[in-house]
């Protein structure tokens, strides 16, 4: 025999499911709904770089480590991407993880002649600010309006990211070229 559930219990159950679903959506929401954190970094050249000061341009932030095979494999692609789009306004910022010895970061940066700024995250402040980054490589694409529109833990889908950047640059209303930050 079928059991009849009182309407009051059914309503409460549906309400709980709706609330849990909403919380789940917020928890798992794509990074696109988040603004990039206001983080200040010191580059290997000793310059202070504030992520917020780069708003108005697409910014690709790449957390990496010298001991990460995927990071090393991705480096030539990031360098190529930067060289392709920097004159149009793309900023790329490499952030070395706190556990990465600074002398290794400097040596690798010089060996690869990385043209974009590299910063040390000695106290994991940037990693925490960007949502607790622990895996490398982890990359975040920030739109000119300052919102994170793409986040990848692991190697980037470079054709997808390249297309997203090209789209951002083509819709930019200022046609001025600028010098890259370094």
Question: Where is average pLDDT lowest: 26-40, 84-98, 152-166?
Answer: 26-40
Reference 56, options 156, 138, 176; nearest CA is: 176
66 assigned to some structural domain:
yes
Residue 158 has pLDDT above 90, yes or no: yes
Number of domains into which the chain is organized: 1
22 assigned to some structural domain:
no
Instruction: Give CA angle at 105 (100, 110), nearest 5°.
Output: 170
Q: What percent of the chain has pLDDT over 70?
A: 76
pLDDT tens digits, one per residue of 14-39: 434 434 444 333 333 444 458 999 99
Q: Domain containing 150 — which CATH number?
A: 3.40.30.10
In this predicted structure, what is the pLDDT of residue 128? 96
Q: What are 9-14's contacts with CB under 8 Å, separation 24+?
A: none
Residue 143 has pLDDT above 70, yes or no: yes
Residue 9 has pLDDT above 50, yes or no: yes
Q: Which two tokens stand for residue 133?
A: 């980054």
Residue bearing the bigger pLDDT, 107 or 33: 107
* Residues 133, 110 contacting (CB under 8 angstroms): no
| Residue span of the structural domain in which 64 resides | 32-171
100 assigned to some structural domain:
yes
103 assigned to some structural domain:
yes
In this predicted structure, what is the pLDDT of residue 1? 55
In this predicted structure, what is the pLDDT of residue 180? 46
Residue 156 has pLDDT above 90, yes or no: yes
Residue 96 has pLDDT above 70, yes or no: yes
63 assigned to some structural domain:
yes
68 assigned to some structural domain:
yes
134 assigned to some structural domain:
yes
In this predicted structure, what is the pLDDT of residue 52? 87
Phi (first) and psi of residue 176, to 5 degrees: -80, 145
Residue 76 has pLDDT above 70, yes or no: yes
Residue 141 has pLDDT above 60, yes or no: yes
38 assigned to some structural domain:
yes
């Amino acid at each position: 025999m079928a059991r009849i559930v009182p309407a009051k219990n059914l309503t409460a159950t549906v309400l709980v499911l709706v609330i849990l679903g909403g919380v789940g959506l917020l928890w798992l929401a794509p990074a696109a709904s988040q603004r990039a954190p206001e983080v200040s970094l010191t580059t290997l050249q000793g310059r202070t770089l504030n992520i917020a000061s780069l708003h108005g341009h697409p910014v690709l932030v790449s957390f990496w480590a010298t001991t990460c095979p995927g990071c090393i494999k991705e480096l030539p692609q990031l360098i190529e991407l930067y060289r392709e789009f920097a004159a149009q306004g793309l900023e790329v910022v490499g952030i070395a993880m706190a556990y990465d010895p600074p002398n290794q970061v400097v040596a690798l940066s010089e060996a690869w002649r990385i043209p974009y700024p590299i910063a040390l995250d000695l106290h994991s402040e940037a990693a925490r600010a960007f949502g607790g980054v622990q895996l490398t490589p982890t990359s975040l694409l920030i739109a000119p309006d300052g919102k994170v529109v793409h986040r990848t833990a692991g190697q980037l889908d470079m054709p997808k990211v390249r297309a997203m950047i090209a789209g951002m640059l083509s819709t930019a209303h200022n046609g001025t070229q600028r010098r890259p930050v370094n």
